[in-house]
Amino acid sequence: MSPRVIRRQDYSLSEEQLQLSKVFASLFERESPSVRVRAAEPVGFDADLWQQLTGAGVISMALPEAVGGDDATLVDLALVAEEFGRSMAPVPLIDAMTAARLLAAVGAPEGVVRALAAGTKTATIALHPFHARERQLISSGAMADIVVGLDGDALVMSEGPPPAAVANLACAPLAWRDLSTNDHTRSIVAEGLAAELAFAHAVLEWKALMAAAQTGIANGARILASEYVTERHAFGVPIGTFQAISHPIVDIAAGVEGARRLALRAAWFLEHEPECALGDVLMAFVAASDVANRAASFGIHALGGLGFTLESDMQLYFRRARGWTLLAGDPQADLQQLGDHLYGPEPTH
């Protein structure tokens, strides 16, 4: 007997979604050219730009109307994340969105959530559960006012001045934190299964949005490489005429298309059927991380010696392609989780 289930396979974007994507593309292009990305290094945070963006509503759009937000869908947020990735804007967009949504979802004090929505405070999320006396490297941990994370079955939040930044491959504002220590800065915002589920969902949101951002990185690197190899000549012809250059670029473009579909579909399922989203999120995250890495690595090769200098924007992509995704840990762990999910005796979530 056939299962008699047919799902729509509609990857098209609505007019509004296309418009949103376009608006953010030009916003990031205008406000975060590579010279600004560079200027924010090595810490990787531009407070003025962040204020500007939160002022424009990038966090509030991601929050429910009840707390003054615009209740955008995750597909919308993924489209924004994609353009964010392409611009590499030195702001904690995905961390702050995810943490704010998590805090709003578990009913954190309204004052906190409203401050996040308004951009007067910034929160980030510790992507791995804490264990006794075990610190972890927190994305945006060196600039966020609030860190939210899971300790046992408690969702905890710590507020206070951020610790010192740790220099890193991604030029991101990372810092070590340990929320398992119950000091005066720490408070519990939710407990039990609800807390664990909300945290797990937030990590999936982070991964789906990061997947979208990585397709943006991959696409940006691919376009930069394409432009260069069209202009640059060797042996009397543009080097883009050589298959050793053009074919890898085609493969990267193909990878971008596939990863983008996966990322947007993962966001759709997280929004509409979150119980069916796990496999798609993991796939999107691994595929996007992979293609971004390939795109930037080959991009350096395509740009030749120039690509390997710090003058080149390609190295900006390269550092973030590996650096950003690794914050969630070894991608093979995501593949293992996918394997356990698809083929394991028990569901993992």
Examine residue 98 and tell whether it contacts another protein (CB under 8 A): no
Stretch that binds another protein, among 80-88, 154-162, 213-221, 335-343 (CB under 8 A): 335-343
Q: Cα(272)–Cα(72) distance, rounded to whole angstroms? A: 13
**x/- letters, 8..37, toward another protein (CB under 8 A):** xxxxxxx--x--------------------
Helix H or strand E segment including 304? helix 278-308
Nearest distance in Å: CB 319, another protein? 8
CB 259 within 8 A of CB 211: yes
User: Considering beta carbons, is residue 110 or 330 the nearer one to another protein?
Assistant: 330
**x/- letters, 294..313, toward another protein (CB under 8 A):** ---x--xx--xxxxxxxx--
Nearest distance in Å: CB 52, another protein? 27
Examine residue 336 and tell whether it contacts another protein (CB under 8 A): yes
Stretch that binds another protein, among 142-150, 189-197, 206-214, 243-251 (CB under 8 A): 243-251
Q: How many residues bind another protein (CB under 8 A)?
A: 97
User: Considering beta carbons, is residue 69 or 129 the nearer one to another protein?
Assistant: 129
Would you tell me which residues interact with a copy of itself (CB under 8 A)? 242-244, 247
Examine residue 153 and tell whether it contacts another protein (CB under 8 A): no
Examine residue 77 and tell whether it contacts another protein (CB under 8 A): no
- Residue closest to 225 by CA, chosen among 302, 159, 152: 302
Nearest distance in Å: CB 334, another protein? 9
User: Considering beta carbons, is residue 12 or 243 the nearer one to a copy of itself?
Assistant: 243
Nearest distance in Å: CB 148, another protein? 17
Q: Cα(340)–Cα(278) distance, rounded to whole angstroms? A: 11
Q: Cα(349)–Cα(344) distance, rounded to whole angstroms? A: 12
Out of 240, 292, 313, 317, the only residue in the binding site for another protein (CB under 8 A) is 240
CA 69 to each of CA 52, 57, 65, 86, 112: distance values in angstroms, whole numbers, following the listed order: 17, 9, 4, 25, 13
Examine residue 72 and tell whether it contacts another protein (CB under 8 A): no
CB 325 within 8 A of CB 81: no
331: amino acid identity, one letter:
P
Q: Cα(318)–Cα(43) distance, rounded to whole angstroms? A: 16
Examine residue 274 and tell whether it contacts another protein (CB under 8 A): no
Examine residue 228 and tell whether it contacts another protein (CB under 8 A): no
Q: Cα(103)–Cα(120) distance, rounded to whole angstroms? A: 15
User: Considering beta carbons, is residue 199 or 298 the nearer one to a copy of itself?
Assistant: 298
For residue 3, say if its preceding peptide bond is cis, omega within 30 degrees of 0: no
Out of 145, 253, 274, 349, the only residue in the binding site for another protein (CB under 8 A) is 253
SS (H, E, C) 191-230: EHHHHHHHHHHHHHHHHHHHHHHHHHHHHHHHHHHHHHHH
Nearest distance in Å: CB 137, another protein? 5
Nearest distance in Å: CB 305, another protein? 5
Q: Cα(123)–Cα(101) distance, rounded to whole angstroms? A: 10
CB 269 within 8 A of CB 280: yes
Examine residue 194 and tell whether it contacts another protein (CB under 8 A): no
The packing angle between helices 110-118 and 93-105, to 10°, is 150
Examine residue 318 and tell whether it contacts another protein (CB under 8 A): yes
